[in-house]
């Protein structure tokens, strides 16, 4: 039931998520941040039930840091995306089964190139310019495709995200009032709630 969506512009990437955690018909929390900060220039929005989102997120975050400490080098976005994909892939035929969560990994490399990757619980990986996870796909892909154009500026990107949020609030059966939005630029990560 989580909505995660994002888009990539000329020099930035935005990933937004809803803040709700629900248990059957109850909304337990409305301000949960589902977008993980992997480092100063990478964010990973995860969509999944219960503990999977949390535990897989932690697994990715710590292993990502471990590689940095072991090798002394920072991974760029492409390497990180492939690394996360391999974590998903290793789990699919394991004893506990696949990690039950999907993700959107976005960030900006040190040379300023932004990229956004769509990751699936079975280990699919696709580099995209705009996309979503979960039910948000049905409501937002049309809108994102329609509004997207190459070389978006940050302000245009934020406007599109606002339109997406408005669309979800209008048409999605599940009330999602608070959204947390993170933007990565060469300067770093900005967070705000909409």
Partner 1 sequence: MIDFDPSSFGLAHTYQKEDKDEINTLALPSAPQVIYKTLNGPTQINGGNKLNNFKHGTTTLGFVFKEGILLAVDSRASMGSFLSSEQVRKVIEINEYLLGTMAGGAADCQYWLAYLANHCRTYELKNGSKLSVAAASKFLQGILIGYRNSGLSMGCMIAGTDTTGQHLYYIDNDGMRLKGDIFSVGSGSTYAYGVLDNHYRYEMSLNEAVELGIRAIYHATHRDTASGGVVRVYHIHQNGWTKVHDGIDVVDLHYQFAQQKGLVGDGDEAKQRLF
Cβ count near 27 (within 10 Å): 14
Give me the least distance between CB of 136 and partner 1, in Å please: 21
Give me the least distance between CB of 62 and partner 1, in Å please: 13
Complete DSSP assignment for 119-133: E-TTS-EEEESEEEE
Give me the least distance between CB of 52 and partner 1, in Å please: 8
Tell me, rounded to whole angstroms, the distance of Cα 151 from its chain centroid: 20
Complete DSSP assignment for 53-111: HHHHHHHHHHHHHHHHHHHSS---HHHHHHHHHHHHHHHTTSTT-S-SEEEEEEEE-TT
- What does the binding site for partner 1 look like in residue numbers (CB under 8 A)? 21, 23-26, 28-29, 31-32, 49-51, 54-55
Give the residue from 171, 169, 173 showing the smallest Cα distance to 18. 169
Q: Which residues pair with 179 in a beta bridge?
A: 18
Give me the least distance between CB of 138 and partner 1, in Å please: 22
What the block records as the tokens of 122 is 């079975």
Give me the least distance between CB of 39 and partner 1, in Å please: 22
Nearer to partner 1, 163 or 178 (CB): 178
């Amino acid at each position: 039931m989580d909505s995660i969506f994002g888009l990539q512009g000329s020099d930035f990437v935005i990933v937004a998520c809803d803040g709700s955690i629900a248990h059957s018909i109850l909304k337990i929390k409305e301000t949960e941040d589902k977008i993980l900060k992997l480092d100063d220039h990478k964010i990973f929005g995860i969509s999944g039930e219960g503990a999977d989102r949390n535990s897989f997120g932690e697994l990715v975050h710590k292993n990502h840091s471990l590689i940095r400490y072991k090798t002394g080098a920072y991974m760029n976005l492409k390497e990180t995306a492939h690394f996360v994909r391999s974590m998903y892939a290793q789990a699919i035929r394991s004893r506990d089964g696949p990690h039950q969560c999907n993700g959107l990994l976005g960030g900006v490399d040190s040379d300023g190139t932004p990229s956004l990757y769509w990751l699936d619980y079975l280990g699919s990986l696709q580099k995209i310019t705009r996309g979503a996870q979960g039910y948000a796909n049905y409501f937002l892909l049309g809108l994102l495709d329609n509004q997207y154009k190459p070389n978006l500026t940050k302000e245009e990107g934020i406007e599109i995200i606002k339109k997406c949020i408005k669309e979800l609030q209008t048409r999605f059966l599940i009330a999602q009032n608070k959204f947390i939005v993170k933007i990565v630029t060469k300067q770093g990560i900005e967070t705000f709630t909409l």
